[in-house]
């Protein structure tokens, strides 16, 4: 499969923006990433998509961005979460609806995204610290140091801690799923380039 199969720039040219711009959180007046990588504002695409169908966009959720990694023939769905109040259910709704919209627009199937797509949630680790119930290191007291130690050992084990139960969608809808704090996302981007 060619990366051109997933690109829809001719249908949505005004949706192309930098990740820096797409990640802007107006409620807190900050950007979730510093990256100037070009991606698509998928919230805008969702609005255009539903208008073309003469439907309201109110009942449809979407991720913030879709980034096409042409050299790897990958599609990356990205949701930025800066605040405290969001639910795993809302993330799953955004995942599902974005996947369906993207597949419809690009005339692709889920089997394609299972082989060539990633889903990423970028979160603010101060606003959404890892909770005790999520933590695989439950016997250790909650602290930023514990989170650093956990990350160190997971990296050593070549494993990744995926939050909010999203790991179950690996191999079902996506090739891979990640939940990165802002710093981890910046490292991920550097590794991709």
Give the count of beta carbons closer than 10 Å to the beta carbon of residue 8: 18
CA dist., res. 105 & res. 113, Å (int): 13
Q: Quickly state the pLDDT bin for 20 (edges 50, 70, 90).
A: very high
Report pLDDT digits (tens) over 111-169. Answer: 999 999 999 999 998 888 777 666 554 444 545 565 566 566 555 555 788 999 999 99
Per-residue model confidence (pLDDT) at position 146? 53
Per-residue model confidence (pLDDT) at position 114? 95
Q: Which residue has the tokens 């060539």?
A: 116
Please say whether the beta carbons of 65 and 15 come within 8 A.
no
DSSP state of 23: T
The SS3 call for residue 25 is strand
Per-residue model confidence (pLDDT) at position 182? 95
The secondary element (H helix, E strand) that includes residue 17 is strand 16-18
Read off the pTM. 0.85
Query: What residues does 41 pair with on adjacent strands?
Result: 65
DSSP string, 66-100: EEEEGGGTEEEEEEEE-SS---HHHHHHHHHHHHH
The arithmetic mean of pLDDT across residues 96-109, rounded, is: 94
């Amino acid at each position: 499969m060619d990366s051109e199969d997933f690109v829809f720039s001719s249908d949505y040219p005004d949706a192309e923006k930098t990740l820096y711009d797409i990640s802007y959180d107006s409620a807190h007046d900050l950007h979730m990433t510093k990256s100037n990588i070009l991606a698509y504002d998928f919230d805008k695409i969702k609005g255009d998509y539903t208008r073309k169908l003469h439907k309201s966009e109110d009942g449809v959720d979407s991720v913030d961005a879709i980034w096409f990694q042409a050299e790897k023939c990958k599609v990356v769905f990205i949701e930025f979460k800066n605040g405290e109040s969001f639910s795993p259910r809302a993330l799953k709704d955004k995942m599902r609806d974005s996947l369906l919209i993207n597949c419809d627009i690009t005339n692709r199937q889920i089997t394609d995204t299972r082989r060539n797509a990633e889903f990423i949630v970028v979160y603010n680790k101060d606003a959404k610290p890892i909770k005790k119930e999520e933590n695989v290191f439950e016997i250790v007291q909650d602290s930023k140091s514990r989170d650093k130690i956990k990350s160190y050992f997971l990296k050593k084990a070549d494993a990744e801690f995926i939050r909010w139960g999203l790991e179950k969608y690996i191999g079902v809808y996506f090739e891979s799923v990640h939940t990165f704090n802002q710093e981890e996302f910046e490292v991920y981007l550097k590794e991709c380039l």
